[in-house]
Amino acid sequence: MNKKNFGRNLSLWVVVIVMVMLAAGFFRPDTGQSTGEQINYSQFISNIDQGKVKSVVIQDRNLSGKYKDDKTFTTYLPPSTNDLLTKLSSKDVSIEAKPLDNQPNLFWRLIINLLPTLLIIGLFILLMRNMQGAGGKAMGFGKSKAKMLTEKQGRVTFADVAGIDEAKAELEEIVEYLRDSQKFQRLGGKIPKGVLLVGPPGTGKTLLARAIAGEANVPFFTISGSDFVEMFVGVGASRVRDMFEQGKKSAPCIIFIDEIDAVGRHRGVGMGGGNDEREQTLNQMLVEMDGFDSSESVILIAATNRPDVLDPALLRPGRFDRQVVVPNPDVAGREKILRVHMRKVPVTSDVDPKVIARGTPGFSGADLANLVNEAALLAARLNRRTVSMLEFENAKDKVMMGAERRSLVMSDEEKRNTAYHEAGHALCALLIPGCDPVHKATIIPRGRALGMVMSLPEGDRYSETKLRCKARLVLAMGGRCGEELAFGPENITSGASGDIQMATNLAHNMVTEWGMSEKLGMVNYGDGEQGYWQKPSKSGSTIREIEIEVKQLIDEAYTRAMNLLTEHREKWERLAEGLLEYETLNADEIQRVLRGEKIERSFVDDTTKNLRSSVPEIVTTEVTETSSENKSVEDENKTTSLNLDKSDPTA
């Protein structure tokens, strides 16, 4: 019987016992006493003297009797009644004495006396059971919150992991050790006690750890780093001890700690110093890892996307010996991941995972899983039995650019402003060397933006050149330049705020971290993980020089974008009018519009038509707020394969 059923049954039994006692008390045996008028002892003596009493029944100190008119009475006798029997005999009163029925009275007295104690004990047991069952309550503070996953909860193997072949190869040795540890121990080899999986969110670190356990067919304990830390001192260390004890009892097994940076950060840099609860937890973890015996076959696997903040003592040999990098997949890896997720989705013959993989650079495994799911949901909304390439393309646009907001009604003036803004971005992307090819341009509001231009790199990219960085700055300035050329300096809008922020961050990184400033040279002026209590690492004059260099880069990009749009104004205006007419243009349609050709759209695809009909006609007034969040180029940069802006993790 589990603890939950025990508590429920205990409560039920307490209620049943109380009801039985009440019923038994109601139907308890009669003690032989008759009911009647209750009188005091003095009145009873007076009635005897007056000759009114006919008979009496004495039982201990209880006396009941009858008057000569057959009415009954009761009274309670005092301790000393020596003359009472003599007086009753002298008045010819019939006297009957009955023994005291001790057994029933004694039983009920015992029950009544013990009932409160029994209820308190039962309530205490119930509370203790509940507290022990909930880790984090009074009696469960020191218990580990690690959850044990079994085969019934879904076994994962390496066949379910795709796109990260190098990481899988490094971890196969762990599987071999868990299957046959004697093979390594015979030659004096020691398997790593800990493996640290490092990579961006969504790349499959947790899935890899579960796959190791599934391949080796061993128990798998999982816990988050934040589960160790509580407001009470000593709780985290106790949970660490309990977790390792559970692992040793279940050996061979795998203990997986997700987001270990929550408890494994550098010691001594916080406000609490060495007395900080988090540091005590980390110290206990280091001690437990040192105490691991290599013959215990317990493998500790941890995952983090911030290895730079981990304490060096945690990464030394003998603890986390091996660090396995789990990066975002390349185009071949993305194709494999898509094929894995498409197993459960009925797709049409025109769906090509290779084409989808080429169009999703920078996507993680979780992003690709979400893409397949969005395509399936879209097909279900349209009452289709299979998922076609059209649903995948629309799902990709939704994931990259956000959901369409056709219910947002913009005025003609705002729509025209957005068209010239996005046309400026698109034309700069087409004319500037180093820019990625334009994939799509739209003035349909998506997410928090009124419109956007999405560019996709031709392949996976792992570094940036100065040429491409400057091209991105020109691309960012193209929207604001388009507004100013079309409507004048006094009519520019807040829609370029996202572009300005992205350009500022990019230029700042070029100057302070990437050594792309001729004036400041190859010096890193970044603050890194500097806390607010630490002194600034740069002087005031250096900060001023950085600001001047950043502004110069942006001003040069703005001038270059303005010159491009002025020189090719006819093409730019033609592209803007095309966006006003068609709302969305793909790469081929943009080229046809620039050549002055007419785009024939004889039909609206069923997906767009059905989605439009499913959107209610609601007029919203959030145009200003959305306009201020217009991030055409910033959203474009989210599709690149690298996170170049280190100061902005959302870039």
Catalytic residues, by residue number, are: 422
For 643, which DSSP code?
-
Would the annotation count 608 as a binding residue? no
What's the N-to-C CA distance of the chain in angstroms? 53
List strand residue ranges (DSSP E) for 447-518, in order: 452-455
Q: Is 199 annotated as a binding residue?
A: yes
On whether 206 is known to bind a ligand per the annotation, the reply is yes
Q: Is 72 annotated as a binding residue?
A: no
Read out DSSP for 14-53? Answer: HHHHHHHHHHHHHTPPP-SPPP-EE--HHHHHHHHHTT-E
Distances (CA, A) of 479 to 427, 433, 503: 10, 18, 12
The answer to the question of whether 203 is labelled as a binding residue is: yes
- For residue 452, give the 3-state DSSP assignment: strand
User: Has 202 been labeled as part of a binding site?
Assistant: yes
Judge whether 566 is annotated as a binding position: no
Name which of 401, 394, 360 is nearest 630 in CA terms: 401
The answer to whether 201 is a known ligand-binding residue is: yes
CA 627 to chain centre: 30
* 197 close to 301: Cβ distance less than 8 angstroms: yes
Question: Is 425 known to sit in a ligand binding site?
Answer: yes
Neighbouring residues of 211: CB distance < 8 A, sequence distance ≥ 6 = 156, 157, 158, 160, 161, 168, 171
User: How far is CA 627 from each of CA 408, 427, 635, rounded to the nearest angstrom?
Assistant: 12, 21, 14
Q: Is 439 annotated as a binding residue?
A: no
The residues that bridge with 197 in the sheet, in sequence order, are 303, 324
Sign of the Cα torsion 141, 144, 150, 154 reads positive
At 498, which helix (H) or strand (E)? helix 497-512
Binding site feature residues: 199-206, 421, 425, 499
Binding site feature residues for ATP: 199-206
Binding site feature residues for Zn(2+): 421, 425, 499
